[in-house]
Amino acid sequence: MKKFLALLLAGVMAFSLAACGGSGSGGSSSGGTDETGGAAPAADVAEPGTINVCIASEPDTIDPALNSAVDGATLLIHMFSGLAKWAQDPSGALEIVPDCAEELVEGVENEDGTVTYTYTLREGLTWSDGEPLTAGDFVFAWNRAAGPELAADYGYMFEIVDGYAEMWETDDSGENFVNPDAVLNVEAPDDRTIVVTIENAVPYWNELLAFPTYFPVREDVVANEAWATDPSTYVCNGAYTMASWDHNSLITLEKNESYYDAANVTMDTINFYLSDDSNNMLTNYENGDWQFIDDIPTNEMARVQEQYPDEYVVGGQMGTYYVIWNTATDILPANSGLTGAEAEHAREEIRNAISLLFDRNYIVEEIGQAGQVPASSFVALGLLDANGIDQFYENAGHNDGFVGYYDTSEEAMQSNFDAAIETLSQYYTYDEASGQFTDFPMTLTYLYNTSEGHQAIGEYLQAALAGVGINMQLENQEWATFLNTRKEGNYDIARNGWLGDYNDPISFLDMWTTNSGNNDAQFGRGDHASVQAYSMDLTPYGYDINVENGTWAETYDVLISTIKSCTDNDTRYELMHIAEDLLMQTGCICPLYYYTDPYMINSSVQGFFASPLGYKYFMYCTIA
Amino acid sequence: MNGKTALYIVKRLILAAVTVWIVITITFFVMRAVPGGPFMGERAISAAAQAQLEAKYGLDKPLLTQYFTYLKDIFLHFDFGPSLKQRGRDVIGIIADGMRTSVKLGVIAAFISLGVGVVLGSVAALRRNKFIDRVIMVITTAFVSMPSFIMGSLLLVLFALKLGWVPANGTTAAGMILPIITLALYPMAYITRLTRSSMLDVLGQDYIRTARAKGVSKWKIIFGHALKNSLIPVITYFGPMLAYIVTGSLVVEKIFAVPGIGRAFVNSITGRDYPLIMGTTIILATLIVIMNLVSDILYKLVDPRITFD
């Protein structure tokens, strides 16, 4: 037993020494995947043909059809090439240009209003394993991404393609498909020709062609369900190939010399580090190991802006942070005596008045601190209007002297507040002396998903309402529970946010139809289904539709389907403005700010750009 | 090992299996009772698509059927199923990836803490109330009371940012130094204090005095008699500590961006990735149960007075 003890002690010592040696010597135990980030402490030591970036943590998937995340899309645009792509012209402006297609042709309108496009692929395109890329690969990939078998999050990106509706047609139970053999109306008459027919002309069609869900994949490659999880089976056709993937650590892309445009790709190697901690990202950025990070800790925001004014960039993002009311939340005084449409109009007035109590400038400057823009409409900053130049939100609302549905300027705060008090005084008793409403009928519960930022905003909203005597308590839930609660409509008022899928306002508007899975406000459901409070007149636009006091289904749902089948661009945008008017009239949507995408990029990096959807392009970067 | 010991181990193994089975059962049903699901996201998919996916992964069957299928798959085929979130990846692969890192970090950190802790604790006890003892006690008190997120952040700022000696990213060999130190500091400090007090206790025992009186050399007393007996509480602590430390620390993994199992576990719960939740829970539970058992057996080996009755 004596020996046992001595042995144990000796063993312990030996172990710790070995351990120290192993970890300190930069040994081979890490798998040797990192050539540049390991010992090289600063950017000036990194090789010029290599860039180290961090956009997010491990992507759930990098299968083009399955991905629905912005960080996954950034990886995909480097490794895949669709018919079209985003590019930067010499002036720095972004445009959609042909990629695999020789040119982005004009569509030919058919008699039934559908539009057919015939694309020709460039000559000699190949996959990263040397196999030729054919038109049939696109046909296969599109049907795979759109169809029920894969049931991908972004399958609906093919909604505009003829045949999609048949694919997804179900019986009355809503769970059994009527046409199991249906396919999209897209064909490959030969190896270089793709003929696709869409339901009606839409201005964002070319943008869809540049969207990752529309990228090609090869049938024999994806037959292996795990193909997109391992570099050895990841066959792609873009500017880069995946050299290695250390799960949760690092994805390394190497330039694909067989890419048709390889001559213009300047960055040889891109290391995508995978991290979900913004503090860790910032440390890696500040010590020079990484040249780009896409997330900055909120509490460091002010310091970073001051310390790195040239490297801190506020990119655009098409999204809105807003507060949502459940239509079922009854905030009318018990003795109001109002019913039906009158009651609904009263609720609308109250909700819209409460929305005016919030100081959006305070929220973005003191809480958000990332260059967010106070919002006065739901369709976000960045989405363009009919002419492709004006911002849609600048033409929203019908008020003079300000943009949107209410004035968000600091000067207007007092008049907004006064107007809100005046409106609310019609319904509740206002005590002038204390400046409080004394009989607001309920204590509201504000639901948000657990996060410091959302909590800070919730606390501000709570304080703003408490200032006028309206009690609101805060309730936070973990993300998945929160999503469930909100979708089920088990809340009074909740935090919400929406990012557009493509640069068309319809991506913000079609989510509010009665049966949409994203209709968290529960429009047209429950008691709201029978509320006849909405009117619209589409006769000036050539439609025989004029509804006075209709239900949500009779107005908004009809309007959205009209927009979706509308082929005249100007009319379509007019109709979308009407849809947003209807939406904002309800007061259920209370926009707070338009999202921005702050990131940091080392000043030695040239040639970087980001698409309007927030995808980051590193392929044309050089490091000075 | 005598028959009694063997019987004891067999009994404990059966008990361990039962414990793990109870953990599986509770986790399985509690997890499914929690609102939300794996196919729910900010962007809702259609009811038809949802039904399609549920059918694909067998989530449309009655819960009890799913439970028995699951038990059959893991016990008969050792099949933990596919991840529902990271489509195309198997649960076992994800766990193996995470465990590789966590075990490496954890084992190194555990043995460093044991080695350094025992030495420092012995030194402190032998130099009781001297300067070196005071210094060791002050430092270990600080390490024991400082939470790892503060210690980790301090180390990160100092060594990765200000001095630039090591990378801030825990994916490389050099990047693992800081997380290992962060993981090791608390148990090291704890073991130091444990060793010190237990050694002091032992040094005051009659048999040590007898040995001294008989003229046994000082070092022989320390290494031959005192240290061995004073390690008993350390061993009891070490087993569960090792299990705890290799099953990943979310805090340390986050601060240093270490690709360990802790993060996979937490993400699986947030994403309602049922098979991954089950897989990680089972592996972690098994590890803890086994380490407790090993620690009990070691206990007996060091102290023959302990019986397994």
Q: How far apart are CA A222 and CA A332, in angstroms?
A: 56
Q: Give yes or no for a contact between A133 and A188, defined as CB atoms under 8 angstroms apart.
A: no
pTM across the whole model: 0.86
Residue A161 has φ and ψ, to the nearest 5°, of -80, 135
Residue B125 to chain A, least CA–CA distance (Å) = 17
Q: Do A280 and B224 touch (CB under 8 A)?
A: no
Q: ∠ at Cα A525 (A519, A526), nearest 5°? A: 140
Q: Which stretches of chain B score pLDDT less than 50?
A: none
At which residue do the structure tokens 């919002």 appear?
A375
Q: Pick from A12, A155, A225: which is nearest to B88 by CB?
A: A225
Residue B270 to chain A, least CA–CA distance (Å) = 6
Q: How far apart are CA A611 and CA A370, in angstroms?
A: 19
Q: What is the pLDDT of residue A186?
A: 97
Residue B80 has φ and ψ, to the nearest 5°, of -90, 0
Q: Pick from A15, A26, A518: which is nearest to B44 by CB?
A: A518
Tens of pLDDT, residues B145-180: 888 889 888 998 899 888 888 888 877 788 889 999
Treating both helix axes as pointing N-terminal to C-terminal, what angle do B232-246 and B177-203 enclose, rounded to 10 degrees? 160
Give B36's contacts in chain A (Cβ within 8 Å). 479-481, 483-484
Total CB pairs under 8 A between chain A and B: 212
At which residue do the structure tokens 């004014």 appear?
A309
Q: What is the pLDDT of residue B1?
A: 56
Q: What is the pLDDT of residue A467?
A: 94
Q: Do A275 and B223 touch (CB under 8 A)?
A: no
Helical spans, DSSP H, in A210-275:
219-222
Q: Give yes or no for a contact between B298 and B231, defined as CB atoms under 8 angstroms apart.
A: no
Q: Which stretches of chain A score pLDDT less than 70?
A: 1-47, 399
Q: Give yes or no for a contact between A67 and A141, defined as CB atoms under 8 angstroms apart.
A: no
Radius of gyration of chain A (CA): 27
Q: Do B97 and A8 touch (CB under 8 A)?
A: no
Strand order, beta sheet including A108-109? A108-109, A115-120, A193-198, A186-190
Task: Establish if A249 touches chain B: CB-CB under 8 angstroms.
Answer: yes
Tokens for A140?
């296969």
Which residues, numbered 482 to 511 in chain A, qualify as contacts with chain B under a Cβ-Cβ cut-off of 8 Å? 483-485, 487, 497
Instruction: Say how many C-beta atoms besides its own lie within 10 A of residue B116's C-beta.
Output: 21
By CA distance, what is B159's nearest residue in A? A287
The Cβ-side half-sphere exposure at A51, using a 13 Å CA radius, reads: 28
Task: Establish if A44 touches chain B: CB-CB under 8 angstroms.
Answer: no
Q: What is the pLDDT of residue A47?
A: 64
Residue B135 to chain A, least CA–CA distance (Å) = 22
Q: Which of B32, B169, B254 to mutate to test the interface with A (most CBs of A within 10 A)?
A: B169
Q: What is the pLDDT of residue A176?
A: 81
Q: How far apart are CA B275 and CA B273, in angstroms?
A: 6
The type of residue at A347 is R
Q: Pick from A19, A29, A284: which is nearest to B168 by CB?
A: A284
Q: Do B173 and A1 touch (CB under 8 A)?
A: no
Residue A495 to chain B, least CA–CA distance (Å) = 12
By CA distance, what is B118's nearest residue in A? A9
Residue B88 has φ and ψ, to the nearest 5°, of 100, -15
Give B30's contacts in chain A (Cβ within 8 Å). none
Treating both helix axes as pointing N-terminal to C-terminal, what angle do B177-203 and B148-155 enclose, rounded to 10 degrees? 130
Q: Do A151 and B174 touch (CB under 8 A)?
A: no
Q: Pick from A38, A479, A480: which is nearest to B167 by CB?
A: A38
By CA distance, what is B111's nearest residue in A? A16
Q: Give yes or no for a contact between B216 and B193, defined as CB atoms under 8 angstroms apart.
A: no
By CA distance, what is A36's nearest residue in B? B172
Q: Pick from A227, A276, A480: which is nearest to B88 by CB?
A: A227
Torsion angle of C-alpha atoms A490, A492, A494, A496, degrees rounded to 10: 70
Give B88's contacts in chain A (Cβ within 8 Å). 61, 63, 225-229
String of b and e for B214-246 (b: at least 16 CB within 10 Å)? eeeeeeebbbbbbbbbbbbbbbbbbbebbbbbb
Residue B98 to chain A, least CA–CA distance (Å) = 8
Q: What is the pLDDT of residue A482?
A: 92
ipTM of the complex: 0.86
Radius of gyration of chain B (CA): 24
Which domains are delineated in chain B? Answer: 94-272 (1.10.3720.10)
The Cβ-side half-sphere exposure at A573, using a 13 Å CA radius, reads: 20
Q: Cβ neighbours of residue A550 under 8 Å, at least 6 residues apart?
A: A532, A534, A535, A536
Q: Do A37 and B172 touch (CB under 8 A)?
A: yes
DSSP bridge partners of A316: A596
Which residues, numbered 16 to 35 in chain A, qualify as contacts with chain B under a Cβ-Cβ cut-off of 8 Å? 16, 19-20, 22-30, 34
Q: Do A517 and B46 touch (CB under 8 A)?
A: yes
Q: How far apart are CA A72 and CA A66, in angstroms?
A: 10
Q: What is the pLDDT of residue A237?
A: 96
Q: How far apart are CA B175 and CA A42, in angstroms?
A: 14
Q: Give yes or no for a contact between A64 and A222, defined as CB atoms under 8 angstroms apart.
A: no
DSSP per residue, A512-563: GSTT-TT-TT-TTSGGGGG---EEEE-GGGT-S-EEEEE-HIIIIIHHHHHH
- SS3 assignment, position B152: helix
The type of residue at B76 is L
